[in-house]
A and B are shown apart, each in its own frame.
Chain A
Amino acid sequence: MMEGNFKIEIASPEKMIFSEQNVQEVTLPSYEGEMGILKDHVSIIAFLKPGIVKILKSPEAINSFFVEDGIIEFYKNNLTILSSKIVNVKDLNKDKITQLISETEKILKDEKLDDNSRYLANHKIDTLQSLALN
């Protein structure tokens, strides 16, 4: 293993989505803000909010995933991301994004929605819109 690198695994309930032995840096949309993980990060368990997971294998090779929620565990240079709603950004096209946005907007119309879910849904729309622009 190269120095400064660690291992990452992304699993959904249905299958293993991504697994890589050597990554340099991972940025995560953690619940309380964007979070970057490098090698020898302290052990952490954190919750994700909607956003982009960016995996930096080398400055040229970047993998991005759109997550809606999930949980991560970092322990002894093993990063595990568990998420039931995760897609590779490469697989997202304009139509798909528009569809996701309209689905979320439908949820927002519910008057009884609590503040927390409302905040998360709004955040999801923001992320998706910024993706659509790219």
Chain B
Amino acid sequence: MASLDDLKKRIVSVKSTQKITKAMKMVAAAKLRKAQENAEKGRPYSEKMNNIILNLSNGISDKENAPKLLSGTGEDKTHLCIVLTSDRGLCGGFNTNIIKKAKAYFKKISNEGKTLKIITVGSKGYDQLKRIYKDNIIEKISFKDSKTINYLDAEKVGKVIIDIFGKKEFDVCTIFYNRFKNVITQIPQEQQIIPLKASKAVGDLSEDNYEFEPEEDEILNNLLPKNISTQIFKAMLENSASEQGSRMSAMDNATRNAGEMVDKLTIEYNRSRQAAITKELIEIISGAESL
């Protein structure tokens, strides 16, 4: 049995760990509220953008000459996957869930004999993927220095994707991120962004014909790259809310576990202290009796 001193030291150490996890939980809760607000605020833009693109692509008469970002290259050989993860750890299964989803997709791609290229956003994703997919990762991006999620960062990622697409180095592009449902549930998502699979319109989609200035295809050519950045930005916002949510529940669990451990150790400590006292008493009594 561990000595009294050792037990005491362990209790103190677990207690200080508990303090840290508790503080992290509080911080995550505060950040979560902020992240959720941001995600909420960014919604009108991406929804409107989506609607405009739907309207535009409906207006295009000549489907053959539609922009490549919308209709695809016509081939399905090379897949580019953007894996969005966090830069910090200690957030439960957040990163692992995204990676698991992505890996399942990677496996499917390689089983079909297609080429796989990966861009990781966030250093945790790179750390987890580099062991198996080192040769597939063509770029790793990290925004460790950015304090908040901002659109400029998303635009940078968007630009990288467009540049690679311009060089005709991939046909299909998919992004992986966690969608925030609530504090305990975050759902890993895969979303194809090139060629664009527009999600359903939010609100009423206009039926009547629009006037366009300049022409539809010119607007689309300008708008589609922006839409890529917008989609990435949306994913980043969802991701950051999920990350904080996941961290919050992970830290909550950790705090609770630490509490249980302290209780257990305290009981053990008290018991051995009592045992030691009893032992001493017995020694004294039997010493006195023998006299």
Contact = CB atoms under 8 A, between A and B. Distances in A.
Interface stretch (A12-20, A52-60, A96-104): A12-20
A14 to B, nearest CB: 6
* A interface secondary structure, majority: strand
B219 A47 contact: yes
B151 A12 contact: yes
A74 to B, nearest CB: 9
Given A13-B154, A46-B212, A75-B206, A80 B41 contact: no
Q: Which of B41, B48, B213, B218 is the most central at the interface, judged by chain A CB atoms within 10 Å of its CB?
A: B213
A73 B204 CA distance: 14
Interface in B42-96: 42, 44-46, 48-49, 51-52, 55-56
Given A71-B223, A73-B52, A11 B45 contact: yes
B150 interface: yes
Contacts of B44: 9, 11, 16
Contacts of A75: 206, 210
Contacts of B206: 43, 75-76
Interface residues of B, number: 32
Interface string A37-57: 000001111110000000000
A15 B222 contact: no
Contacts of A30: 213
Interface in B192-236: 206, 208-214, 218-219, 222-223, 226, 229-230, 233
A11 B211 contact: no
B35 to A, nearest CB: 13
A84 interface: yes
A38 B154 CA distance: 35
Contacts of A47: 213-214, 218-219, 222-223
Given A16-B41, A82-B49, 18 more contacts: A11-B44, A11-B45, A12-B151, A13-B45, A13-B46, A13-B154, A13-B230, A14-B151, A15-B42, A31-B213, A42-B211, A43-B209, A45-B212, A46-B219, A47-B223, A73-B52, A73-B210, A76-B206
Interface of B: 38, 41-42, 44-46, 48-49, 51-52, 55-56, 150-151, 154-155, 206, 208-214, 218-219, 222-223, 226, 229-230, 233
8 contacts: A13-B151, A14-B41, A14-B42, A16-B44, A43-B211, A44-B212, A45-B56, A73-B48
